Amino acid sequence: MTRTAGIITFHASHNYGSMLQAYALQQTILDMGMKCEIINLRTPRQRKLYSRYIHRSWLKRLRLLLRYPWCQNMHESKYRLFEDFLSNEYILSPVEYPSLQALEADCPVYDAYISGSDQIWNTSCYDFDWSYFLPFVSGKPKIAYAPSMGPVPDKEVVDENAEKIKELLAGYDRITVRERGTAQRLESLTGNTYPLAMDPTLLLPASRWEAMAGDRPSAGEDPYIFFYTPWYRKEIYQLAKDMSVKLGLKVVVSQVSKDILRDWGNDSSFRFLAAAGPKEFLNYCRHAEMIVGGSFHLAVFSILFKVPFFTYDGMNDSRISSLLTLTGLERQSYTPGTLPDPEVLRTRPDFSSAEASIEGLRQDSLKWLRSALSAD
């Protein structure tokens, strides 16, 4: 009989990296010959977080429509694209769960349960929930595959949660984490050591992502810089602006918010194409001349697609620094005011060396995951 696995992760977050890593982990397990579902946990808090743009008050919608008539339609299209990806690309549990209590009352049945990946163990995330530690499971193997505690785990995972985390970790059969910062934070809480594993997006070969991205550039035929960061910070946009000036390229942006439009809406360097779900994000990455931003998964897909990239202050982010160190691409971390001359900017990183480093850890991670899933 075919074994079954259930994954709990940020699969419904309208965030490119979150949804793509969930898809990748499920596909990886399916490729191993198991049946696999994503446990469809969608809390009211998470729904509110990612529907805030389309569920504004009528007055806020009217103000936005009058000032930026194109913006509201972009938000609505973007929301639909994320929901379409969720409905069409995942295999979900038959039941949708709004809370830990609902999971405890009607626990879905699998041979093994997996926490991961993404920042599901970052207790400071707005949509964090204790369900991601699998407290509703008993009597079955519990596995943690590459969860993260965020960019700076020492600050984001507060000591007040230490005892509860220690208690929940004791219930796991196998644990691996995504980056060294998370491993160190867990070690400080429990005294145990934890191996590192590859983010799920790196478990799939680049060809799988290229097929999903498509062969034709959605942003048009003209060369462009693709820019993405999950949260608005003016200094990261300034980095993209500086690159635009140095290279003479437009900047394609897949995020729109009030603050972004206030500061950059009238800047001709930026082209806002925010009606972009996970597939469009991949397309923008694959066909860009250059990529810049402040996102772990943006760096991941830059490397997979072999597109020159720069990440904002990446060596001070536990997630990004682990990736850049692994691949020998530490020099792709920059801040405004430190960018080199255009000739240096246009120099392609050594992706062949990065690819070899990734392949080694990919095989180790796949071996670990197979072993964890096959254990009784």
Whether the CB-CB separation of 255 and 263 falls below 8 Å is answered with: no
| Contacts (Cβ under 8 Å, ≥6 apart) of 201 | 17, 20, 21, 24, 209, 297, 300, 301, 304
Residues 231-236 have a mean pLDDT of: 89
Assess whether pLDDT exceeds 60 at residue 346: yes
- Going from the C-alpha of 355 to that of each of 39, 255, 348, 360, the distances in angstroms are 32, 29, 14, 9
pLDDT grade for 140, boundaries at 50, 70 and 90:
very high
10 Å CB burial of residue 249 (0-12, 13-18, 19+) is middle
Residues 118-122 have a mean pLDDT of: 96
pLDDT grade for 68, boundaries at 50, 70 and 90:
low
Whether the CB-CB separation of 13 and 127 falls below 8 Å is answered with: yes
| Contacts (Cβ under 8 Å, ≥6 apart) of 85 | 19, 23, 277, 278, 279
What whole-number distance in Å separates Cα of residue 360 and Cα of residue 366?
10
Question: What's the pTM?
Answer: 0.94
Question: Which is nearest to 284 in space by CA: 350, 232, 212, 234?
Answer: 212
Assess whether pLDDT exceeds 90 at residue 71: no
Sheet holding 174-176, edge to edge: 92-97, 35-41, 4-8, 112-115, 142-145, 174-176
CATH 2.40.30.10 fits 208-345, yes or no: no
Please list the residues that pair with 270 across neighbouring strands.
251
- Please state the separation of Cα 307 from the chain's center in Å: 18
More confident residue, 300 or 347: 300
pLDDT of residue 61: 58
Whether the CB-CB separation of 213 and 276 falls below 8 Å is answered with: no
Sheet holding 224-228, edge to edge: 270-272, 250-253, 224-228, 290-293, 309-312, 333-334
Assess whether pLDDT exceeds 80 at residue 54: no
